[in-house]
């Protein structure tokens, strides 16, 4: 019997491909070439399974081009790039990679928070430019992290891991979620609405999923409500922050600085952000430690292997929706 066909859209660790070859006829992108949506549709057209990443759009057009498609596995926890409703309507399970990247991403949120509050990259650039003539009392004064108020928008897996790290800095913790976080007492975190969080936090970390509801959730009006001298970290997804409005708030206030790992329209970065000095910019590397990325890649593969074996999926996104569809 012939093996089911699997398209892996991006170059991935060889051990992951080897594990999948045992069960699938695997088509890879060894050069890690950029594929247009049309090229992806062509390459996926006869496939039974798709292994994608956070930057691959799986939309109605791609689904329509793949009549044999039976499963979509993404090597990311976020799945806003996938039209999950359209997959569900076609009976296609979608899987993601929660938990295995939580701690690495929380570490990175803290790296950005510290670098932002204490002006690490801004002062390094100045030093490299040969501008360090002598020490001065008021050189690169930043904001205290210890003892400050940390506001977390999205107290889920990663938000909670960010919050746990704050105890070492004696911070006051508050958060915004649509529903109370079950671990708020354990974390010592107070749930407040977004406006209150923005107006009363010294440092704000965004770590919630992108969706049409969270598009530009932090725009000019929200930025204007932030405390003068506050900092903002976006480790979540581009599009949640209005990057043009953020660049203005960094230039004109009230923000002191921002740290961004994700951008609207990435890998293109709004030129206005490149012009302001008080922003730390990283190229979507929140989960980028070797162990974390390997664990993510393997979890996506384990979902595909479980599917081929007719076993329960490890981390389904639309399991409930598929069951409800089956029952109706």
User: Contact residues for ligand NAP (CB under 6 A)?
Assistant: 77-78, 98, 101, 105, 153-159, 176-179, 207-210, 213-214, 235-237, 261-262, 284, 286-287
Q: Find where tokens 């002598």 sit.
A: 134
DSSP annotation of 82 reads: B
Kindly name the residue from 5, 266, 293, 302 that is annotated as catalytic: 266
DSSP symbols for 23-59: TSEEE--TT-----HHHHHHHHTT-SEEEE-TT--B-
Q: How far is the CB of 152 from ligand NAP (least distance, A)?
A: 9
Residue 143 or 192 having the CB closest to ligand NAP: 192
- 303 vs 290: CA distance, rounded Å: 20
Q: Which of 328, 320, 326 is nearest to 84 (CA)?
A: 320
Residue 54 or 171 having the CB closest to ligand NAP: 54
Kindly name the residue from 10, 157, 216, 284 that is annotated as catalytic: 284
Element at 284 (helix H, strand E): none
Q: Are 59 and 41 in contact (CB under 8 A)?
A: no
Q: How far is the CB of 299 from ligand NAP (least distance, A)?
A: 13
Residue 31 or 193 having the CB closest to ligand NAP: 193
Q: How far is the CB of 312 from ligand NAP (least distance, A)?
A: 20
Local structure of 235: helix, strand or coil: coil
Q: Are 161 and 103 in contact (CB under 8 A)?
A: yes
Residue 131 or 178 having the CB closest to ligand NAP: 178
**Is residue 172 annotated as part of the catalytic site, yes or no?**
no
Q: How far is the CB of 280 from ligand NAP (least distance, A)?
A: 13
Residue 78 or 142 having the CB closest to ligand NAP: 78
CA atoms within 13 A on the CB side of 65: 15
Q: How far is the CB of 135 from ligand NAP (least distance, A)?
A: 36
Give Cα 133 distance to the centre of its chain. 40
Q: Which of 280, 91, 296 is nearest to 203 (CA)?
A: 280
Q: Which of 211, 228, 259 is nearest to 84 (CA)?
A: 211
Q: How far is the CB of 111 from ligand NAP (least distance, A)?
A: 11
- 279 vs 250: CA distance, rounded Å: 8
Q: Find where tokens 């390094």 sit.
A: 124
Residue 219 or 229 having the CB closest to ligand NAP: 219
**Is residue 146 annotated as part of the catalytic site, yes or no?**
no
**Is residue 290 annotated as part of the catalytic site, yes or no?**
no
Q: How far is the CB of 5 from ligand NAP (least distance, A)?
A: 29
Q: Shortest Cβ contact with ligand NAP: which residue? A: 156
Residue 168 or 212 having the CB closest to ligand NAP: 212
Q: Sort strands 149-153 and 172-176 into parallel, antiparallel or unpaired.
A: parallel
Q: Which of 202, 203, 252, 204 is nearest to 224 (CA)?
A: 252
Q: In what order do the strands lie in the sheet with 231-234?
A: 189-191, 172-176, 149-153, 203-206, 231-234, 257-260, 279-281
Kindly name the residue from 237, 264, 293, 302 that is annotated as catalytic: 237
Catalogue the active-site residues.
237, 266, 284
């Amino acid at each position: 019997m012939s093996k089911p066909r699997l398209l892996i859209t991006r170059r991935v660790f060889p051990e992951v491909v080897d594990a999948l070859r045992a069960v699938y006829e695997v088509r890879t992108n060894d050069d890690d070439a950029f594929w247009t949506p049309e090229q992806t549709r062509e390459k996926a057209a006869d496939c039974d399974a798709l292994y994608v990443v956070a930057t691959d759009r799986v939309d109605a057009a791609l689904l329509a081009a793949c009549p044999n498609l039976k499963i979509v596995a993404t090597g990311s926890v976020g799945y806003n790039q996938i039209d999950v409703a359209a997959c569900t309507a076609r009976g296609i399970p979608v899987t993601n990679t929660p938990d295995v990247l939580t701690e690495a991403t929380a570490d990175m949120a803290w790296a950005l928070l510290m670098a932002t509050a204490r002006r690490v990259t801004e002062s390094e650039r100045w030093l490299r430019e040969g501008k360090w003539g002598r020490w001065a009392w008021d050189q690169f004064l930043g904001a205290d992290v210890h003892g400050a108020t940390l506001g977390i928008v999205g107290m889920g897996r990663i938000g909670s891991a960010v919050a746990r790290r704050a105890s070492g800095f004696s911070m006051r913790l508050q958060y915004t979620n649509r529903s109370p976080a079950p671990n708020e007492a354990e974390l010592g975190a107070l749930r407040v609405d977004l406006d209150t969080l923005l107006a009363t936090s010294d440092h704000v970390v965004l770590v919630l999923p992108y969706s049409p509801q969270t598009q530009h959730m932090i725009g000019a009006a929200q930025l204007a409500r932030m405390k003068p001298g506050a900092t903002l970290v976006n480790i979540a997804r581009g599009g949640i922050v209005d990057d043009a409005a953020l660049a203005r708030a960094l230039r004109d206030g009230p923000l002191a600085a921002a740290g961004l790992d994700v951008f609207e329209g990435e890998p293109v970065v709004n030129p206005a952000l490149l012009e302001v000095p008080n922003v730390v910019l990283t190229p979507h590397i929140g989960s980028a430690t070797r162990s974390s990325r390997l664990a993510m890649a393997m979890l996506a593969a384990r979902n595909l292997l479980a599917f081929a074996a007719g076993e329960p999926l490890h981390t389904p996104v639309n399991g409930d929706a598929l069951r409800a569809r089956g029952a109706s």
